[in-house]
Amino acid sequence: MNRALENELQVAIVELYEKGWVEIAEWRLYAWYEAQRLSRTVWRDINTRFQDYAESRTDKKFKVLKCDGPYTFLFICVPAEQVTLTGDGWFQIVGDQE
């Protein structure tokens, strides 16, 4: 994690919680995590940060979903009880949330 850019990630996490969605450019994720590729570690960290922030605001449980786009990712959060995904959808669960 690039400590100088960590605040940008936190702003995105807050925006995800407050709006229910956030769009993040792929290059930004690479810069934040100083990564050559976006591994499971990145997705777990995003999920952990979001869950920590959400738990500080409410008792509701959320799932974070992502949709890969061209050069960008769309993240949405939904109440955990409303999530039922099949393997052929556009969205994937982020991190270890199973």
pLDDT confidence of residue 81:
79
> Do the domain assignments include residue 89?
yes
Enclosing domain of residue 67:
3-93
> Do the domain assignments include residue 83?
yes
Nearest to 21 by CA among 86, 89, 94, 97: 94
pLDDT confidence of residue 82:
74
Which segments in the chain show pLDDT lower than 70?
A: 83-90, 96-98
pLDDT confidence of residue 62:
93
Q: How many domains does the chain have?
A: 1
pLDDT confidence of residue 93:
76
> Do the domain assignments include residue 14?
yes
> Do the domain assignments include residue 98?
no
> Do the domain assignments include residue 63?
yes
pLDDT confidence of residue 70:
83
Query: Strands 72-79 and 62-69, how do they pair?
Result: antiparallel
> Do the domain assignments include residue 69?
yes
> Do the domain assignments include residue 47?
yes
In the chain the first and final C-alpha atoms are separated, in Å, by 25
